[in-house]
Amino acid sequence: MNTAHDAAIGEQIPGRSFGPVTRMDFIRFSAATADPNRVHIEEDVAKAAGLPSVIGSGGIVGGVMSDVVTAWAGLGTIRRVSGKITFPLFPGTTVVVTGEVTGREERDGAVTLEVKVQATDENATPLGENTYWLELPAPG
Amino acid sequence: MDRKLKIDDVQDLRFPPVEIVPERLVSPPLYARAIGSEEQAYYSTDAALAAGLRGRPSPGLAFFHTVDEDALTEVIGVVYGRTLAAGAESEFGVMATERDTVIGQTYVEEAYRRPGKDGTMRQFLVLTTEFRLKETDELVSRSRITFIEKETE
């Protein structure tokens, strides 16, 4: 496995799985980020919104993706990220994060990654995807 | 709940800037546990310093740290649990630690209507939030989130 400095276009970065996520994870994340959205915590609020149960913050899915990226490239290397959550994160879901190098410029250490999160259910339900633009520090 | 996005009234709206010290709001170790991170800089100030950081990195700050729920609902019609967030993008500058003082401000970048795939009209509201270090005015993050609702009337 190459480092972020050596990785070629098309190379997979180390991914990881996470879960099964629990309601306590949702509560922990909401408390950690001061997220006021009660749909992550209160069953009644979630059901009033038409959901079968509470759902995890999109920040959990985004956070797991970003954590995979920074575990590979280093904290502080993400310059820009763009993406979307494609399916709610329900309690009991185990997620798998994968990422691929899709672009790089040797001159200034710029690297582009496509990162995806899927559930480990039988449909491999896509939960979210992000594009990351990184700026790597000079090697050495 | 019959409130809807108020896209006609909020063009160019800027909420007042707010001053935030992240450690009073957010928790790096709790954040890290919730996403299963093994990054030690979130858990330990010593590990963060050893990694060359000025302190434990703050988890990402967001629009809801700068606009309280009542203002969000009353002024622009976003209701937690009802209004769908259709996409987000962020750019990052310097890393804020939990003990930095940052200035956050949220503004309406765009508010418009357009038809969805089924032909019904939808309302879009793009909210942008910037955070800057108070001491240097350096950009910490600029995030755009797009809210979307089907138009019912």
DSSP character at residue B111: E
Task: Provide the residue ranges of all domains of chain A, joining segments of one domain with +.
Answer: 12-135
Q: Are B113 and B88 in contact (CB under 8 A)?
A: no
Residues B94 and B133: their CA atoms lie apart, in Å, by 8
Q: What is the rounded average pLDDT of the residues A58-67?
A: 95
Q: How many CA atoms lie within 13 A of B73 on its CB side?
A: 12
Give the C-alpha separation, B107 to B78, whole Å: 13
SS (H, E, C) A60-101: HHHHHHHHHHHHHHCCCCEEEEEEEECCCECCCCCEEEEEEE
Q: Confirm if B91 and B140 have CB atoms less than 8 A apart.
A: no
Label residue A57 by pLDDT band (50, 70, 90).
Answer: very high
Q: Is B56 on the interface with A (CB under 8 A)?
A: no
- The A95-105 sheet, strands edge to edge: A12-18, A95-105, A110-119, A126-135, A78-85, B84-92, B139-150, B121-133, B102-115, B18-20
Amino acid residing at B79:
V
Helices and strands in chain A: count of H runs, count of E runs: 3, 5
Residue bearing tokens 């609702």: B149
Per-residue pLDDT tens digits for A116-126: 999 999 999 99
- Interface check B69 vs A, CB under 8 A: yes
**Model confidence pLDDT, tens digit, residues B72-92:** 888 888 888 778 887 899 999
Q: Reduce the DSSP state of residue B7 to 3 states and report it.
A: coil
Q: What structural domains and CATH numbers belong to chain B?
A: 1-22+61-153 (3.10.129.10), 26-60 (no CATH)
Helix (H, G, I), strand (E, B) or coil at A28: helix
Nearest to B34 among A16, A60, A84 (CB): A60
Name the superfamily (CATH) of residues A12-135: Hotdog Thioesterase (3.10.129.10)
Q: From B24, which residue of chain A is nearest by alpha-carbon distance?
A: A34
Ramachandran angles phi, psi of A61, nearest 5°: -60, -45
Residue B127 corresponds to which tokens in the numbers above? Answer: 């909210």
Point out the residue among B34, B62, B80 whose CB comes nearest to the CB of A38: B80
What string of pLDDT tens digits covers the 153 residues of chain B?
445 777 887 888 999 999 999 999 999 999 999 999 999 999 999 999 999 999 999 998 998 999 988 888 888 888 887 788 878 999 999 999 999 999 999 999 999 988 888 888 888 999 999 999 999 999 999 999 999 888 765
Partner A contacted by B41 (CB < 8 A) = yes
Q: How far is the C-alpha of A46 from the C-alpha of A28, rounded, in Å?
A: 17
A70 contacts B39? CB cut-off 8 A? yes
- Would you state the pLDDT for residue A1? 64
Set of chain A residues whose Cβ sits within 8 Å of the Cβ of B96: none
